Structure 1
Amino acid sequence: MSTKVPQNSNDPEIDLVQISKKINIFFGRINTSIFRSIQFFIRNWVIILILVAIGFALGVVLDNVQKTYKHEIIVTPNFKSTDYLYAKIDLINSKINERDTNFLKNVVGIQQPKILKSIEIKPIADVYNFITNKPENFQLIKLMAEDGDIKKILEDNITSKNYTNQLIILSTSQKSSDKKLIQPLLKYFNKSEYYSKIQKETYFNVVSKLKEIDSIIKQIDGVLSNFSQTTTGSLKNDKLVYYNENTQLNDIIKTKDALLNEQSFHRIELIGFDKIVKENSVSINIENKKKFFLKFNFLLPLIFYCCLYSGSNPEVFIESNSYLLIKKLNKYF
């Protein structure tokens, strides 16, 4: 007995006809909506212009009121105080969220605590400086990169905290000044009895090391001076040929060069050691620019027009939202 089911060859044609009908209906609705919108504008153009003008004016006022300003501080946490700095900023941010203006004004020292909206810190990725003269850091990154993405590793919180420079970003609702906002904040960061002791000892150690380097360089200069005098005296004898294969002189010169590099490094290092958290750059009152379509002077006229249009044409509003309404009702029935 045959079990074959006869195939309907007209099914594809029926499907295409239905699809074309739906497409025509869709574009027909669009054309109808455009036509109704044009008619609506012609009938109510005076009211629309008034609403647009009111919305634009109100939007300009709100945009000016809602302005926010960004302040950036590039700092260098010295004496391994990066975690300390991050903890302090987390504390300040929590107090901002709690609106604890008493803490911000009396403890931190910010003179305008009410305008402060947020504070955050981000590392400034500088992998080259991170591995320069630090072979252990290079080996660490190399080892970690074998098991993962190098970009993720460099941006990882544990790795990024060890970068030399960090960026502190503050957001305020009004303009402020360096004296009222930045300096009190930096002063608060540098109030630490523990790190002050480390700062004092580290500074003393570096100064002592510089004195030792200066002493060694003077000794090397003395050796080179004696050698130069000996060589000059030997060259005065025309019948004497001087030849020396001793490589110790080259080693002495290389040692002096390395000591000079170390000396210059420590001298520059001492410049930043005057503070626990050293500020390198400060930029204040950077206005946060919104995109045009997110500004109130664009949104409010559009909202007013849509409200007027939906109020004058409720059937259009209902038709456009009927599908969503039916879909929600189907969940309960």
Structure 2
Amino acid sequence: MNQQANKDASFEEQEVDVKYMANRAGNFYNKMLYSIYRLLRFVKKRWYVFLVLIAVGVGLGIYMNASKSSRLRHELIVVPNFGSIDYLNQKIKDYDRLKLNKELISLNAGNEVYDLKIEPIYDAYNYILTDPVHFEAFKVLSDRAIDMEKYSKSKLASKNYKYHVLTVYTDGLGNTDLTIDKVLEDLNSDTYFNQRKNIEKANTLAKRTEISRSIEQVNGLFERLGSENKVNDITMNAYPELADMLTAKEALLKQLNAVDVQLIEQEQVVYLATKMMNIPVRPFLPYFITLPFLFVVCYILIAYFNSKIKSFKA
């Protein structure tokens, strides 16, 4: 009997809860409909104010779209050399745009820099294969079940990527090439990294000389084999070391190509690989859409709070 009574009481409580929730939902729905009705009545009563706000917003938005059309962004793909990536990141973070823009005005560049950003170009595949040390490090991380995708985009790994995108935002219709040249000139003006540039470039030239000499030695061996076998019977079976020599020469030629590219990029501390200039900066939505909406919403909120204040006073 007690169990049956408990079940009946529990059922009644659940039924009461359902009715209560249904009533709450119904009240909320009715309040929402009433609020929409009041809003529509308010709009109908003050239609002329809304019309003026929309007209002013559209006009002001068209003007702002026209005046902001001079805002451009310039994407530069750069190579930070000689361990300068931390210097470059900090330089961009703390860039003295006031000083830069004063110099641009003195040069009659006709525009100003209002923002700079830098981020790496994620290329984990090239990062791993171009350096045996990186390859071994990734093998260790893989053996430890570390998420390679997540690690490759971490701050620690991104510092070691070769290419970075430096984005320069300018406002004005002047000589943007002059502006970009001035930014790069400033980034390449550090005394310490320029001293490192001279030392490391000299070492790279010495490395190129050694590789070229090694290639000449391999070619000399091939020439000697050719002169000793005038019947042209040089085969892999007769000379098993020939395959190793061909592999060695191919590896040396790849090293020579990499060193030649390195010499090009070592011309500057922050080397400009390529650039995409004068890309218009557009807002997510045109101003002639966002401004009228903003004006109308602000007016409705002000009217709502004003009515609340009046009700409190009454």
Q: TM-score range with shorter-chain normalisation?
A: 0.7 to 0.9
Kept after mapping to 1: 8 A contact 2:112/2:172: yes
Corresponding residue to 2:256 among 245, 263, 270: 263
Q: Aligned partners of 1:220 and 1:226: how far apart in 2?
A: 10
Corresponding residue to 1:152 among 147, 150, 153: 150
User: Rg larger in 1 or in 2?
Assistant: 1
Instruction: Report the count of equivalent residues.
Output: 304
Structure 2 vs 1, CA of residues 308 and 228 (structure 1 numbering), >3 Å: closer, same or farther? closer
Q: Aligned partners of 1:9 and 1:215: how far apart in 2?
A: 95
Corresponding residue to 1:143 among 136, 140, 145: 140
Structure 2 vs 1, CA of residues 210 and 300 (structure 1 numbering), >3 Å: closer, same or farther? closer
1:111 Cα deviation (Å)? Answer: 6.3
CA offsets per residue over residues 170-223 of structure 1, 9 Å max, x none?
Answer: 233445543332101111122233333332233333333333333333333233
CA offsets per residue over residues 277-321 of structure 1, 9 Å max, x none?
Answer: 1101222332333222xx543343234434555676779x639xx
CA offsets per residue over residues 45-98 of structure 1, 9 Å max, x none?
Answer: 344323211122123334445564322211001222222322322331xx34xx
Per mean C-alpha deviation after superposition, the further-off stretch among 117-126 and 43-52 is 43-52
1:134 Cα deviation (Å)? Answer: 1.3
Kept after mapping to 2: 8 A contact 1:175/1:285: no
2:298 is the alignment partner of 1:298? no
For residue 183 of structure 1, what is the aligned residue in structure 2?
181
Q: Aligned partners of 1:117 and 1:234: how far apart in 2?
A: 70
For residue 76 of structure 1, what is the aligned residue in structure 2?
79
Matches within 5 A, 1:165-314: 165-175=163-173, 177-233=175-231, 245-292=238-285, 295-306=286-297, 308-309=299-300
Residue identity matched to 2:216:
K
Per mean C-alpha deviation after superposition, the further-off stretch among 174-183 and 304-313 is 304-313
Q: Aligned partners of 2:94 and 2:247: how far apart in 1?
A: 50
For residue 57 of structure 2, what is the aligned residue in structure 1?
55
- What secondary structure does 1:118 align onto? strand
Kept after mapping to 2: 8 A contact 1:110/1:185: no
For residue 331 of structure 1, what is the aligned residue in structure 2?
none
Gaps of 5+ in 2: none
Structure 2 vs 1, CA of residues 211 and 113 (structure 1 numbering), >3 Å: closer, same or farther? same
Gaps of 5+ in 1: 236-241, 326-333
- TM-score, normalised by the number of residues in structure 2: 0.79
Per mean C-alpha deviation after superposition, the further-off stretch among 119-128 and 19-28 is 19-28
Q: Aligned partners of 1:256 and 1:114: how far apart in 2?
A: 53
Matches within 5 A, 1:7-46: 7=9, 10-46=12-48
Q: Aligned partners of 2:176 and 2:277: how far apart in 1?
A: 7
CA offsets per residue over residues 6-32 of structure 1, 9 Å max, x none?
Answer: 937543333333322222222222222
For residue 328 of structure 1, what is the aligned residue in structure 2?
none
2:124 is the alignment partner of 1:127? yes
Corresponding residue to 2:161 among 137, 160, 163: 163
Q: Aligned partners of 1:312 and 1:210: how far apart in 2?
A: 77
Kept after mapping to 2: 8 A contact 1:190/1:276: yes
**Cα RMSD, aligned residues only:** 3.7
Kept after mapping to 2: 8 A contact 1:52/1:305: yes
